Amino acid sequence: MSIARSIESDVRDGAVDARSEASIATVLRPVVHAVLGPQLPLRLQFWDGSELTPSGPSVEGTLLVRSPDAVRRIVWAPSSLGLGRAFVAGDLDADGDLCEVIGALRDAVPDDRRVGSKAAPAAVHAIRRLGLLGRPLPPPAEEARLRGWRHSPRRDAAAISHHYDVGNDFYRLVLGPSMTYSCARFSHPALDLTAAQAAKHDLICRKLGLSERPGGRLLDVGCGWGSMAIHAATHYDVSVVGVTISKEQAALARERVAHAGLTDRVEIRLQDYRDLRGERFDAISSIGMSEHVGHARLARYFEILHGVMQPQGRLVNHAISAVRRPRKRRPTFIDRYVFPDGELIDVADSVAVMEQAGFEVRDVESLREHYARTLRAWVANLEESWDEAVRLAGIARARVWRLYMAGCAVAFDEGDIAIHQVLGVVPSTNGVSGMPPTRASWESTNSA
């Protein structure tokens, strides 16, 4: 029997014990050991000040259980969702390096499994002693609950708005001057985040062969705040069309284009990719976009991009991936608070679907370790300007971003997720690809 069902049964039967006079740490020790093992990987401090200390190798950080509501939330959703709700609500926190704390917890419970039959009896007994029986608490208001058909234009717009319309000033604080919300490329150890983002943009431009297409047209799908479009138009003789369905992104992207003096070469549209038609482009960059498309519509996505591509045109699909992740699974913290309806697609599936759409895949590159470093830089930016972040987005939203970015940094470090750039080309009818014979033209580490 699950913990939640056990508690529900006790509530129905009226079985509630008086509060124990023992410390919270003493009462919850059997539960913690059942979940994390007898050798705790970090210190746990509870709302009464009592602690459980590690007895073996551990990290320096401390997991702070600030309220009994943290226990209630985790019991009713004993997975990343329950932990995330508790963190967003402030019932759970961390003292020290949040990435280290998350890493220690992931190593102790590596498969994000639920607190199942092994811990259920001890957990129910402890919760009864503490007087924490009760119905589930309402989730924080920041939790997304979308309506309508999954990946319909209206629902996709709502999902994008939930994530990207937090406020441009908030994103500027987190992302830094580049305003680039995707994996940077630290092609040299000394690069800072801004330079590494420029290096990533330039790598994509070189893979797309923009220097070989003077006067050509680039389509940037899911253009964000226009950083890729601005880089390409500034350093290469191309015109750029960037499309996004985020109103706040489009507004700021247009401002940035105007400030760069590129209004004659860069057009930012508030447009769904499904509305692209009747145009032709020499190259397409899709950076952090296909994760929002979903498995069911991925084939159509690449068909649309193929349909607007000139012969010998190239596409770079830069996307987070997960190896054979099951498509039907329990909702996670990321699903409900960060990327509603987002789907991580196995890079093998992306390659297969691109080929089915008519692209010839020529190169695949992983940037996994680069994204872990990128995320840590974003976390540092957020923590260094925490008070301003809270003023801009509210305490709960700031806590969402801190937890999600730190958790993703750990996931990339440990290989649970990855990120790949897949380069495809549309050969001419006679099979001419226009591709260089080697990777030398884009393997240079010098950014423009």
Q: Which two tokens stand for residue 222?
A: 């899911």
Residue 6 φ then ψ, to 5°: -65, -45
In 3-state terms, what secondary structure has residue 105?
helix
Contact of 128 with 64, CB cutoff 8 Å: no
Contact of 374 with 183, CB cutoff 8 Å: yes
Contact of 224 with 254, CB cutoff 8 Å: no
In 3-state terms, what secondary structure has residue 178?
coil
Q: Which two tokens stand for residue 368?
A: 């996994």
**Residue 147, Cβ density class (10 Å: 0-12 exposed, 13-18 middle, ≥19 buried):** exposed
Place of tokens 């709700």: 85
Alpha carbon distance 380, 290 (integer Å): 27
Report the catalytic residues: 408
Pick from 56, 83, 119: nearest CA to 404: 83
Angle in degrees, CA 417, 423, 425, rounded to 5: 150
Residues 6+ apart with CB under 8 A from 333: 80, 81, 83, 84, 85, 403, 404, 407
Residues 6+ apart with CB under 8 A from 448: 198, 202, 205, 231, 235, 236
Alpha carbon distance 253, 228 (integer Å): 10
Instruction: Report the sign of the C-alpha dihedral through residues 189, 192, 195, 200, in that order.
Output: positive
Pick from 35, 29, 36: nearest CA to 119: 35
Residue 206 φ then ψ, to 5°: -70, -40
